[in-house]
Amino acid sequence: MLTVNDKNHTSLVIGSIERIYNRSKIYGKLKIKNLYFIDIIANLLNGGCITLTSEQINGLLSIYYATTFQSDEICRPTICKTYQSTARPAFIQAEAEDCNDFPKFPKIYYWQETTTTANLASIEPLVDNNGYVDGKSSDTYESFNTGRTIAYSNIGRICFLATESTTTTYTMYDIMGNSVADAFDIVLIPLINSTLFVSKNIYSHGDIYFKIKK
């Protein structure tokens, strides 16, 4: 199950405390509220004292990473990925493709968020986290070039993650041949060599046809 890595979280807290203390010597004010906030979330996710649903876990993770990436008093979380054949020292990444858990053959993952609050700002750091797309459906570029229908059963934004991608230049069409690329925020995530698509609108249940071309 995806959760907050204890070692990464401890390093983040220690680094943030040092940053907050150094800034307090300059500005004469301690700003530590957000650090308390994310520590509470990490304890909820890792404590094991209560049982959380998948929706609650995803919601807490969204808040955790959104807060750490948007707060100027918290150090950015270090994302260390496990390389499957060669051990490397923790927190060291020499090349963009090192420690990459995504397959080395291109594919497009697709899913629908389970909450209406999830958006690009909260989804992007989660996608960059180890294991977030594990278990999500995927298909080949060739299949999406031809076009395919996807059945959605939740209420939330719909997302695509094109792996082995170095561009945001994609075209997207619906079943009538209309361009729908403008309905998505499309961002490049260089660390995992992938392109993320997040719909600007929230979608309900139903089948939707998509054709995606690079």
Which pLDDT does position 32 carry in this prediction? 66
Q: What angle do CA 23, 5, 193 make, to 5 degrees?
A: 90
Which pLDDT does position 182 carry in this prediction? 94
Which pLDDT does position 111 carry in this prediction? 96
Q: Identify the three-state secondary structure at position 199.
A: strand
Decide: pTM greater than 0.75: no
* CA gap 139, 183 in Å, rounded: 21
* CA gap 197, 182 in Å, rounded: 11
Tokens representing 57 are 């876990």
* CA gap 76, 24 in Å, rounded: 19
Contact between residue 158 and residue 145 where contact means Cβ atoms under 8 Å apart? no
Which pLDDT does position 59 carry in this prediction? 75
Tokens representing 47 are 């404590």
Going from the first residue of the chain to its last (214 residues), give the mean pLDDT of each consecutive group of 10, the final group possibly shorter. Answer: 58 67 59 71 74 76 73 56 40 43 74 93 83 89 95 95 93 95 93 92 94 93
Which pLDDT does position 63 carry in this prediction? 77
Contact between residue 150 and residue 91 where contact means Cβ atoms under 8 Å apart? no
Of 191, 4, 210, 181, the closest CA to residue 101 belongs to 191
Q: Where are the beta strands (DSSP E) in the chain?
A: 108-112, 137-139, 148-152, 158-163, 171-173, 184-189, 194-199, 206-213
Tokens representing 121 are 């700002």
Contact between residue 77 and residue 65 where contact means Cβ atoms under 8 Å apart? yes
Which pLDDT does position 128 carry in this prediction? 75
How far is residue 8 from each of residues 5, 15, 81, measured CA to CA in Å? Answer: 5, 11, 11
Which pLDDT does position 85 carry in this prediction? 38
Which pLDDT does position 170 carry in this prediction? 95
